Amino acid sequence: MNAATKRAIFILVLSEFLVCLGVTLVIPVMPFLKNELHFSAADMGFMTALYAFAQFIFSPLVGILSDKIGRKPLLIVGLLLFSFSEAIFALTNQLWLLDVSRIIGGLSAAAYIPTAMAMAADITTNSQRAKVIGWISASFSGGLILGPGIGGALASISYKMPFWFASGLGLVALLVLVSLLPSEQQFEHHIVKNNQATDDANWRDVLTKPVVLLFTLILISAFGLAGFEGVYSIFVNEVFNFDMNDLTVVLIINGIISLILQVVFFERLVLWFSEIKLIRYCFVLSAAGVAWILVTHSKLSVVIATLIVFSAMDIIRPAITTYLTKFGESKQGLMNGLNMSLTSIGNVAGPIMAGILLDINYHYPYGIVLGFMCLSIVMTFFISSLKK
């Protein structure tokens, strides 16, 4: 890698960390906000759904646009919208404006996250890509670990303070990106987009059978992974009497393991197994962990099984992204946008499905999640055979 490529990767990793930190530091405030402003659970759920719905709608469109005009303008727009959405949330107490803020936030995520992944794919070779995507995923995990703790401390000053701080982080990331991110021509390796080659590329050449199956896998696995995460805290609290301290310890340990796996081991795992085999083995581990949770009666066993499932998930997501970047070199924005869009569907529908089933029987959600994971394992074999 030349100096420009290394600098660009550092900026992408830093910006991803700051944005994720901004998103997660408001998590401790949301229950308080509901009570303070007398919102219903439906109001809060609708607000969350608007964010994911905006991601679902806009991610493919932004991906196509970034393929045409370049990555940097979309990254700038994404960070600007993120800062603006958090500022609106800090300024208002009116529900309709808070809903507007979440829509803008979803649009910012659609503009920034898949574009950052597409740029990482543009400026790296196949052999470098796993390492870089692992770093970006690790920066996301780092923000996830630190955000809620910092948000809780800021909320002790004012329940609006985390939103102001998040808005400021967005502006810092924006200034760093605008002033330091090199132009695409300076990179050692980049995809050239010109004339009609990118615009008129035959979609059938891009959306081949392995790619369509891979997108199907992304959708199915998103249902399963989001379904597991969506009701986890309620499930372990009701079934195994986990309190807030237990959950905090599990999440902190998982965050540390996730960082180590993504920074130190992810590239090596890809080299050892290849992306599709690594995805398959991680789904096997996830399925085993979910099955263990369903049959165990021990709190310690639940903690171990949870760490297995979460750790496997933390590998599956960047592995799928890395594998996807190897298809359709000239349409990385579109591919990553569709990835984000399909993941958003799972993030909305998975927890809703799991929540409904949880009201019927505590074991139904994870029984369905186990089925989704087994189906994902089967899908990896079909993808492997078609890729060959």
* DSSP label at residue 207: S
Q: What share of the chain is helix, strand, coil (3-state, %, to 5)?
A: 85, 0, 15
Q: How far apart are CA 164 and CA 62, in angstroms?
A: 27
Q: How far apart are CA 354 and CA 317, in angstroms?
A: 20
Q: Are 388 and 240 in contact (CB under 8 A)?
A: no
Q: How confident is the model at residue 80 (pLDDT cuts 50, 70, 90)?
A: very high
| pTM check: above 0.95 | no
Q: Are 238 and 362 in contact (CB under 8 A)?
A: yes
Encoding tokens for residue 183? Answer: 């132009």
Q: How far apart are CA 368 and CA 179, in angstroms?
A: 48
Encoding tokens for residue 34? Answer: 């509901």
CA angle, 286 as apex, 135 and 319 as ends, to 5°?
30
Residue 145 has pLDDT above 80, yes or no: no
Q: Kindly state the average pLDDT of the residues 333-337.
A: 77
pLDDT number for residue 373: 92
Q: What is the pLDDT of residues 263-310, one digit of tens each?
A: 888 888 988 998 899 999 999 999 999 999 999 989 999 999 999 998
pLDDT number for residue 263: 82
Residue 30 host element (H or E): helix 29-36
Sign of CA dihedral 157, 159, 162, 168: negative
CA angle, 216 as apex, 215 and 217 as ends, to 5°?
90
Count of other CB atoms within 10 angstroms of residue 42: 8
Average pLDDT, the chain: 82
Q: What is the pLDDT of residues 89-141, one digit of tens each?
A: 889 888 889 889 989 988 998 888 888 888 888 888 877 888 888 888 788 77
pLDDT number for residue 204: 58
The domain 3-186 is placed in CATH, from the list 1.20.1250.20, 3.30.300.20, 1.10.1040.10, 1.10.3720.10, at 1.20.1250.20
Q: Kindly state the average pLDDT of the residues 179-203.
A: 57
Q: How far apart are CA 388 and CA 385, in angstroms?
A: 5
pLDDT number for residue 31: 66
Residue 142 has pLDDT above 90, yes or no: no
pLDDT number for residue 167: 92
pLDDT number for residue 189: 54
pLDDT number for residue 304: 94
pLDDT number for residue 200: 46
Residue 165 has pLDDT above 60, yes or no: yes
Q: How far apart are CA 129 and CA 231, in angstroms?
A: 33
Residue 177 has pLDDT above 60, yes or no: yes
Percentage of the chain with pLDDT > 70? Answer: 89
Q: How confident is the model at residue 188 (pLDDT cuts 50, 70, 90)?
A: low
pLDDT number for residue 198: 46
Q: What is the pLDDT of residues 364-387, one digit of tens each?
A: 889 999 999 999 999 999 888 876
Q: Where in the chain is the domain with CATH 1.20.1250.20?
A: 3-186, 203-387
CATH superfamily of the domain spanning 203-387: MFS general substrate transporter like domains (1.20.1250.20)
Q: What is the pLDDT of residues 193-249, one digit of tens each?
A: 444 444 444 555 566 777 888 888 888 888 888 788 777 877 888 888 887 678 778
